[in-house]
Amino acid sequence: MESAGRHFTQVLLAVAWLPHEAQYSLDAIVRTLWRVFFSRRRLLQWKPSSEVERSGRDDSSTLRLMWIGPSLQ
């Protein structure tokens, strides 16, 4: 019974977060299309993995950024 309750809670949270995820994704799609077809600026705004490795970021800082995942379980 505990497993069913946990599964129900996970489904409920996924449905509750769906509008935010949809808005976030739609924003990314619109920005990308605008940059590719109209502005042609900042087309590569993210950092390649090789650059991140050179910046000296370690695993502990990544874990600190992602603390929310394990805390929700």
CA separation, residue 50 to residues 2, 57, 62 (Å) = 44, 11, 16
Q: If pLDDT is split at 50, 70 and 90, which confidence band does 7 have?
A: very high
What pLDDT sits at residue 64?
Answer: 73
Whether pTM > 0.75 for this model: the answer is no
Q: If pLDDT is split at 50, 70 and 90, which confidence band does 37 have?
A: very high
Give the angle subtended at the CA of 25 by the CAs of 55 and 50, to the nearest 5°.
20
7 against 73, higher pLDDT: 7
What pLDDT sits at residue 38?
Answer: 92
The answer, yes or no, to whether residue 60 has pLDDT greater than 90, is no
